[in-house]
Amino acid sequence: MPSILIIGAGLSGATLAERYASAGAKVLVLDKRSHLAGNCFDHLDQETGIRVSNYGAHLFHTNSQEVWDYVKQFATWRPYQHQVLVKVGEKLLNLPINLNSVNQFFELSLPDAEAMKKFLAKKRHKLAKIQSSQDYVLSMVGSELYEAIFANYSQKQWALDPSELDASVIKRNPIRYNRDNRYFTDRYQALPEGGFEGLVTKMLKHPNIKLQLETDFFAWKATADLSKFDQIFYTGAIDQYFDYAYGHLEYRSLDFHFERHNQEFYQATGAVNYPSLDYPFTRIIEYKHFYPPTKSVSSTVISKEYPTWDGEPYYPVPRQRNHDLLQKYQREAKKLENQGIYFVGRLGTYRYINMDQAIAEALRLFAKLTKKASEI
Ligand SMILES: Cc1cc2nc3c(=O)[nH]c(=O)nc-3n(C[C@H](O)[C@H](O)[C@H](O)COP(=O)(O)OP(=O)(O)OC[C@H]3O[C@@H](n4cnc5c(N)ncnc54)[C@H](O)[C@@H]3O)c2cc1C
């Protein structure tokens, strides 16, 4: 029976653990935290019965039939279509920018996509090359919307000017020429009953899987015999694995300030963004929009998000310095593959990936390695 070690009980680690265990391997999963599910972890707020995410709202969405078929095995899913508003002055505009938000912002009544395109064509900056987030937004919607929605938000979120940020950051939020107010347009959008905590608990519930929480890999390995594992999957931070030999990769973090309010709802949608510098936070999340509370309550729970450089490593900072450093770490990581050590997931690959990507990549890696093993 092959023996597998997995560092990290987030979705990447849990998917690999479940796949290997189901294929008959013996799997040990370590996590330094006191809970499983990684950053997707959530819990029921005792007082209100509202499900609250510990590390920021997590909303599942995917176009992948493979991922959807896979996750369906471990939970009953309730449909949830996310909507986001952005507060600009006294107005609340729909995000991503669409026909409704352009009409509201410019106080127009453009009837359709064609009219919106014609209108924005006059606003757009004609740039020869699109490199930064700033270039991208200016070339799509022009200065007014850029200033109102993106410039200060980026400054607060990343502590960088959007001219320093890769265009890829903003491209996650493309402009729409219709009135679709949903934040995501993926085919499958849903939340697991019992939360992501319940989902990952079920994934790891297998007689071949041993889960060891509150165990930091680096402290643990000092006395462990790693040679007894046939394969090791590491989902922690890639630079930490190499003891920061080339320097630290930058991460942006968030400080979550949770508040209970004695009112039915605090805001109209699950998320409202606050780009203005008048507010020190970037977003307010209201959890009651995601799951109905388990108790009948007239109160609600929100969290305000304050970006910071300290704390949990959440967002890789996509700028040149980090790309260069990452390449050096990736070269080292690649050399370890012939010893059966693989770097996986958000921290292991230093990329912002959604939950469905984390699962898809873990499924793909499992398929690739087991196919290779069966060919030997
Ligand atoms: C604020 C925020 C909001 C998000 N919202 C969404 C969303 O709405 N929809 C979506 O699809 N995705 C969202 N994501 C992305 C989502 O969190 C990731 O796709 C997912 O968590 C990736 O899973 P992972 O297993 O790769 O990483 P993680 O969940 O980070 O898991 C890694 C695990 O490794 C453990 N670990 C690290 N180092 C060690 C060590 N030395 N020893 C032992 N254990 C270790 C950590 O404790 C952690 O549990 C969001 C991310 C953030 C930061």
Domains present along the chain, CATH in parentheses:
3-42+188-249+316-375 (3.40.50.720), 84-171 (no CATH)
> Which residues, at least 6 apart from 336, have a Cβ–Cβ distance to it below 8 Å?
342, 343
Quote the mean pLDDT of the chain: 94
pLDDT category of residue 376 using cuts at 50, 70 and 90 = low
Token pair 């930490």 is at which residue?
Answer: 240
Rounded to the nearest 10 degrees, the angle between the axes of helix 99-106 and helix 113-123 is 50
What are 260-285's pLDDT values in tens digits? 999 999 999 999 999 999 999 999 99
> Which residues, at least 6 apart from 142, have a Cβ–Cβ distance to it below 8 Å?
120, 122, 123, 124, 125
User: Which residue, by CA, sits nearest to atom 17 of ligand 1?
Assistant: 39
Q: List the structure tokens of 86.
A: 């952005």
266, amino acid identity: Y
Q: What is the pTM of this model?
A: 0.95
User: How does strand 341-343 pair with strand 231-234?
Assistant: parallel
97 within ligand 1 shell (Cβ under 6 A): no
pLDDT of residue 45: 94
Token pair 């849903």 is at which residue?
Answer: 190
Among 168, 162, 156, 200, residue whose Cα is nearest residue 58 = 200
Among 251, 211, 193, residue whose Cα is nearest residue 21 = 211
- Residue 213 or 352, more confident: 213
Share of the chain above pLDDT 70, in %: 99
CB contact at 8 A, 291 and 51: yes
pLDDT of residue 267: 98
What are 306-340's pLDDT values in tens digits? 999 999 999 999 888 999 999 999 999 999 999 99
Give the three-state DSSP class for 87: strand
8 within ligand 1 shell (Cβ under 6 A): yes
- Nearest-atom number in ligand 1 for the CA of 215 is 43
> Which residues, at least 6 apart from 244, have a Cβ–Cβ distance to it below 8 Å?
none
Mean pLDDT for the stretch of residues 234-242: 98
Q: Tell me: pLDDT of 147 over 70.
A: yes
